[in-house]
Structure 1
Amino acid sequence: MDPTTCSILLVSRFKTRSSSPPPPTSLSVYDSSDELDECNSLTEVQRVTNKKSPTSPSKSIILPGPELKKSQSVKLTNISLADSSPKKAVRFADDFGLALDQIRLIKTDELPRVPSGAFKDLQIYDYENSFNSERSKVISYMQPQFENPIHAIDFHNRLSQQKILLEQANAIDNRIYGTVKLISYGLHKRVKIRLTADNWLSSKEYDASYISNSYDSTYDRFSFTVDIERQRICAGNNIQFCLCYEPFGGSQYWDNNYQQNYRFDCLSRIIPDFTS
Structure 2
Amino acid sequence: MTCPILLVNQFKTRSSSSPPPPTSLSVSDSSDELNECNSLAEAQRITNKKSPTSPSKSIILPGPELKKSQSVKLTNISFVDLSPKKAVRFADDFGLALDQIRLIETDELPHVPSGVFKDLQIYDYENSSNPERTKVINYMEPQFENPIHTIDFHNRLSQQKILLEQANAIDNRIYGTVKLLSCGLHKHVKIRLTADNWLSSNEYDAVYISNSYDGTYDRFAFTVDIERQRICAGNNIQFCLCYEPFGGPQYWDNNYQQNYRFDCLSRTIPDYSS
Q: TM-score, normalised by structure 2?
A: 0.55
**Which of these residues, 238, 241, 247, is aligned with residue 240 of structure 1?**
238
Aligned residues: 169
Secondary structure at 1:249 match in 2: coil
Q: 1:142 touches 1:233 (CA, 8 Å); kept in 2?
A: yes
CA RMSD between the two structures: 3.1
**Which of these residues, 142, 149, 171, is aligned with residue 169 of structure 2?**
171
Q: Paired residue for 2:217? A: 219
1:106-117 to 2 correspondences below 5 Å:
none
* Residues 195-230 of structure 1, C-alpha deviations (whole Å, 9 max, x = no match): 000000000000000000000110000000000000
Q: Paired residue for 1:254? A: 252
* Residues 84-131 of structure 1, C-alpha deviations (whole Å, 9 max, x = no match): xxxxxxxxxxxxxxxxxxx9999xxxx99988766667898989889x
Give the Cα–Cα distance (whole angstroms) in 2 for the partners of residues 251 and 124 of structure 1.
68
**Aligned CA distance change for structure 1 residues 122 and 143 (closer, same or farther; 3 Å):** farther
Offset at residue 273 of structure 1 (A): 1.1
Q: Paired residue for 2:226? A: 228
**Aligned CA distance change for structure 1 residues 254 and 129 (closer, same or farther; 3 Å):** farther
**Aligned CA distance change for structure 1 residues 238 and 105 (closer, same or farther; 3 Å):** same
* Residues 50-93 of structure 1, C-alpha deviations (whole Å, 9 max, x = no match): xxxxxxxxxxxxxxxxxxxxxxxxxxxxxxxxxxxxxxxxxxxx
**Aligned CA distance change for structure 1 residues 152 and 273 (closer, same or farther; 3 Å):** same
- Residue identity opposite 1:182 in structure 2: L
**Which of these residues, 178, 181, 203, is aligned with residue 180 of structure 1?**
178
**Which of these residues, 134, 137, 162, is aligned with residue 136 of structure 1?**
134
Offset at residue 133 of structure 1 (A): 3.4
Offset at residue 135 of structure 1 (A): 2.1
1:4-15 to 2 correspondences below 5 Å:
none
- Residue identity opposite 2:227 in structure 1: E
Offset at residue 240 of structure 1 (A): 0.3
Q: Higher helix fraction: Structure 1 or Structure 2?
A: 1
Identity %: 87
- Residue identity opposite 2:134 in structure 1: S
Q: Paired residue for 1:45? A: none
Offset at residue 177 of structure 1 (A): 0.1
Q: 2:162 touches 2:251 (CA, 8 Å); kept in 1?
A: yes
